[in-house]
Amino acid sequence: MANHKSALKRIRSNEKKRLTNRYQHKTTRNAIKKLREMDKAKDAQAFLPSVISMIDKLAKNNVIHNNKAANLKSKLVKHVAAL
């Protein structure tokens, strides 16, 4: 158990950040799945910018690596273009 006041605060703040990151990551993964399941090109093109924005936010906050974000965006853009 932590012995310092600052360590206790760090534990509390880390838990809050962990839950926030988990929620955002799961929401983004669900949005990616939803985009991949779309079969209408018009709907997919309309939804793509919001998904890319979500991915960029995860990368900016170091929830996912920048290269992973780039790979995801590239694959999604290819998928939408192929529809």
4 domain residue, yes or no:
no
pLDDT tens, residue by residue, 27-62? 999 999 999 999 999 999 999 999 999 999 999 999
Range of the domain at 34: 28-83
When divided into structural domains, the chain yields a total of: 1
7 domain residue, yes or no:
no
What value does the mean pLDDT of the chain take? Answer: 95
As a whole number of angstroms, the distance between CA 45 and CA 59 comes to 22
Q: What is the pLDDT of residue 2?
A: 77
In this model, does residue 76 exceed pLDDT 90? yes
As a whole number of angstroms, the distance between CA 8 and CA 41 comes to 50
In this model, does residue 64 exceed pLDDT 80? yes
